[in-house]
């Protein structure tokens, strides 16, 4: 009897121990998914942050790359080849030369006086074009009156303003011309593609050198550009 009770008591104690151990294992196993889930959250945020900032960083690097060139500040080549013209005039190479605040391509038969702004034939300076850069607020009506007065000494001025067909300059806001015994005088107001305006006084003596002067003087003038360093800067 005593032996039976002792055996029963041992069995109850062993069962309690086993149940307690199983309960502890169950609680331990139940906390593991929670800890794992909490640990994964910062990982997702860490990966997403650099990805969102990668594009601006790449853009900044591209804009400051040594290969990046601002077209407004780039320099023109020292020489440039210009194609042939109608009438069997073969092409020529022009050399970039500096005037008073501007540059243009000059051909081998011409000489540029940068200070006076006169581009003339080297063999006969009576063939020439005087170049004057106009300010942004110039008065076209006043310039037309001035041109008519200047050309009156040569003869009556004809007005050819507007589109110049088959002409290197393409378009002239003002184009007055007079013909006389001493040749042909042109008085022109012209803008380049950048909107910079110039005044030309062109004299063609109509002699034997006209064939050298006429084909290339207008091509040269059509390459006029104001120097970037001469552009007005804003004051702060």
Q: What percent of the chain has pLDDT over 90?
A: 56
Arithmetic mean of pLDDT, 122-139: 96
Alpha carbon distance 192, 10 (integer Å): 112
pLDDT of residue 71 exceeding 70, the answer is: no
Q: Would you say residue 188 has pLDDT above 70?
A: yes
Fold of 79-230: Protein Transport Mog1p; Chain A (3.40.1000)
Between CA 192 and CA 64, with CA 102 as vertex, the angle to 5 degrees is 85
- Angle, CA 110 vertex, CA 227 and CA 169 arms, to 5°: 60
Q: Is the pLDDT of residue 170 over 90?
A: yes
The predicted model gives 74-84 an average pLDDT of 88
Which pTM value belongs to this model? 0.65
Tokens standing for residue 90: 């073969």
Closest by Cα among 203, 197, 149, 204 to 174: 197
Instruction: Report which of 203, 200, 169 is spatially closest to residue 187, judged by C-alpha positions.
Output: 200
Q: Point out the least confidently predicted range of 136-145, 186-195, 224-233.
A: 224-233
pLDDT attached to residue 229: 60
Distance (Å, whole) CA 219 – CA 236: 40
Question: What's the pLDDT tens digit per position in 191-228?
Answer: 999 999 999 999 999 999 998 898 899 999 999 999 97
7 or 191, which is more confident? 191
* pLDDT above 50 for 56: no
Q: Give the closest residue to 172 by CA, choosing from 184, 187, 158, 152.
A: 187
Residue 108, pLDDT above cutoff 90: yes
Domain boundaries, the chain: 1-68, 79-230
Close Cβ partners of 198 (under 8 Å, ≥ 6 residues apart): 102, 131, 132, 133, 134, 189, 190, 191, 192, 221, 224
Confidence at 145, pLDDT banded by 50, 70, 90: very high
Asked if residue 44 has pLDDT above 90, the reply is no
Instruction: Note whether 127 and 213 are within 8 A (CB).
Output: yes
Across 64-97, b (16+ Cβ under 10 Å) vs e yields eeeeeeeeeeeeeeeeeebeebeeeeeebebebb
| Exposure on the CB side of residue 66, measured as CA atoms within 13 A | 0
């Amino acid at each position: 009897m005593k032996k039976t009770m002792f055996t029963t008591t041992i069995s109850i104690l062993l069962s309690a121990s086993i149940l307690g151990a199983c309960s502890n294992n169950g609680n331990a196993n139940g906390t593991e998914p929670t800890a794992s889930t909490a640990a994964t959250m910062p990982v997702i945020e860490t990966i997403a942050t650099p990805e969102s900032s990668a594009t601006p960083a790449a853009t900044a690097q591209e804009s400051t790359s040594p290969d990046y060139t601002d077209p407004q500040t780039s320099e023109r080549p020292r020489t440039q080849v210009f194609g042939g013209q109608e009438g069997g005039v073969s092409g020529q190479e022009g050399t970039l030369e500096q005037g008073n605040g501007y540059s243009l391509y000059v051909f081998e038969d011409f000489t540029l006086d940068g200070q006076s702004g006169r581009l003339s034939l080297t063999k006969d300076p009576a063939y020439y074009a005087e170049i004057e850069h106009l300010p942004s607020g110039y008065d076209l009506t006043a310039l037309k009156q001035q041109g008519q007065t200047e050309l009156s000494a040569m003869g009556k001025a004809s007005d050819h303003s507007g589109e110049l067909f088959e002409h290197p300059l393409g378009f002239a806001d003002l184009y007055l011309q007079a013909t006389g015994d001493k040749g042909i005088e042109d008085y022109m107001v012209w803008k380049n593609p950048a909107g910079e305006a110039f005044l030309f006084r062109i004299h063609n003596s109509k002699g034997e050198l006209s064939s050298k002067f006429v084909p290339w003087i207008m091509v040269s003038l059509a390459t006029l550009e104001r120097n970037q360093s001469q552009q007005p800067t804003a004051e702060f």
